[in-house]
Amino acid sequence: MKKMFGVIGDPIAHSMSPAMHNDLFELYGIDASYLPFRVIKDDLEDAVKGLKALGTSGFNVTIPHKTKIMPLLDKIDPLAEAIGAVNTVKNENGLFTGYNTDGPGFVKGLEGHAADFKERSALIIGAGGAARGIYLSMAKAGVKRIDIFNRTMEKAEELVKTCPYEVKSRVLNRANAERLLGEYQLIIQTTSIGMVPEVDFSPLSLENLSTKALVSDIIYNPLKTKILKDAAINGAATQNGIDMFVYQGALAFEKWTGIFPDTQRMKENVLRHLGGYTC
């Protein structure tokens, strides 16, 4: 029988996940379909019951349901529990288990740009949902120093305090982050600053940036944010948010099918959707 997968969220019409996963099902000869489902906040519980009643094999979860879905699932993976968000659900013998592949997806994408990332001193800009996943996944992977700069410092302090993995971290204000910038070989921008349509903004000045640094922005719209342009001008390496998006999808696909898919093909698929840009 054909297997059913999907993504729930609101809005969902512009999700690139259906095209990405359906292409992979075809590539690997898997008889399955992946559909987008718009689910409004008030309907989340009914939607999860419906997906279970229909025997859905798995699904992705996006804004605004990543946290609210957790009590509606049968089991939560420990990393997703620590992050406090689920983006991937797998049907395991009729029981729904929630995973988070966003943070691990970022780390997997990072390996291709900085194989030595565990030895690098990292600064994360932001302390929202995506930053939580990235911080905890990097700490779990063994990165020894990860400092955080966020507008609301209390959120960063809470994240550091509740981290179950061993890592050295300082919470910085903007002035200190800019002053100490040269210490970091890895800078990860996770705020929404610089995203379309407000593309002329950057969360901090890169005046003290080391030319040995990799600056990674998890935004992919635009593909080159202001901070990435500034980093390139300063001679640093850059990475945009396509890798995180592709690898979170690849890890979800692997959980559902046991196959780690062709990420280069996924990347080309996503770039086609974003307007034919090649990098």
Give catalytic residues, as residue numbers. Answer: 66
Mark the segment that binds ligand NAP (CB under 6 A) among 42-50, 128-136, 226-234, 263-271: 128-136
Please name the residues in contact with 7: beta carbons below 8 A apart, sequence gap of 6 or more: 15, 17, 18, 34, 35, 36, 37, 59, 60, 61, 62
Residues 239-278 that bind ligand NAP (CB under 6 A): 241, 244-245, 248
103 contacts 71 by C-beta, under 8 angstroms: no
Task: Work out whether the CA dihedral 49, 89, 220, 79 comes out positive or negative.
Answer: positive
The yes or no reply on residue 130 touching ligand NAP (CB under 6 A) is yes
Backbone angles phi, psi at 124, to 5 degrees: -100, 130
- Closest Cα partner for 228 from 219, 218, 220, 217? 217
- Choice between 91 and 110, CB closer to ligand NAP: 110
- Choice between 91 and 191, CB closer to ligand NAP: 191
Mark the segment that binds ligand NAP (CB under 6 A) among 48-56, 135-143, 148-156, 250-258: 148-156
Query: What x/- string results for residues 155 through 194 when contact with ligand NAP is judged by CB under 6 A?
Result: x----------------------------------xxxx-
The yes or no reply on residue 99 touching ligand NAP (CB under 6 A) is no
- Choice between 52 and 265, CB closer to ligand NAP: 265
- Choice between 30 and 81, CB closer to ligand NAP: 81
Buried b (16+ CB within 10 A) or exposed e, 42-81: eebeebbeebbeeebbbbbbbeebbeebbebbeebbebbe
Query: What x/- string results for residues 199 through 218 when contact with ligand NAP is judged by CB under 6 A?
Result: ----x--------------x
Q: How far is the CB of 163 from ligand NAP (least distance, A)?
A: 16
- Choice between 141 and 195, CB closer to ligand NAP: 195
The yes or no reply on residue 88 touching ligand NAP (CB under 6 A) is no
- Choice between 18 and 128, CB closer to ligand NAP: 128
Nearest-angstrom CA–CA distance, 135 and 133: 6
Q: How far is the CB of 106 from ligand NAP (least distance, A)?
A: 8
Count of alpha carbons within 13 angstroms of residue 205, beta-carbon side? 8
Query: Which residues pair with residue 7 across a beta bridge?
Result: 36, 60
Which position among 49, 95, 152, 168 is part of the footprint of ligand NAP (CB under 6 A)?
A: 152
Mark the segment that binds ligand NAP (CB under 6 A) among 3-11, 13-21, 144-152, 208-216: 144-152
Backbone angles phi, psi at 89, to 5 degrees: -120, 135
Residue 23 one-letter amino acid: D
Please name the residues in contact with 63: beta carbons below 8 A apart, sequence gap of 6 or more: 9, 10
Backbone angles phi, psi at 130, to 5 degrees: -65, -40
Applying CB under 6 A, the residues found at the interface with ligand NAP are: 102, 126-131, 150-152, 155, 190-193, 195, 203, 218-220, 241, 244-245, 248
